[in-house]
Structure 1
Amino acid sequence: KHRRRTSKKQFSILEKAFNENPKPNAATRRELAEKLKMTVRGVQVWFQNRRAKAK
């Protein structure tokens, strides 16, 4: 298992989604994951980390 860095493109999309809604529901996370070729878990963790950073 390797850690996957988010690409600049993935990051900008995630960042935009975060600004619109810092706590996305499961459906939104699934949508983002499909769009970004990431796992739903990966998206979830990204949002958790991003919320922690935003504090």
Structure 2
Amino acid sequence: MKVKTLPTVLVVEDETLIRMDAVFMIEDAGFRTVVTSGLDDIVFLSGVLCLPKP
């Protein structure tokens, strides 16, 4: 059985209310979100999620 995966968007924003609003809009559009508020989290997530290096 094939599992459908949703496209994922990394949301990086230090302002909580703006970040929450962005997540709601992105998820309403049918995307999965990974949320962070800073650079330290992005460095960690890049290793966990195997994001391509620029």
TM (norm. structure 2) is 0.38
TM (norm. structure 1) is 0.37
Q: Which is strand-richer, 1 or 2?
A: 2
Q: Which is helix-richer, 1 or 2?
A: 1
| Greater RCO, CA 8 A, separation 6+ | 2
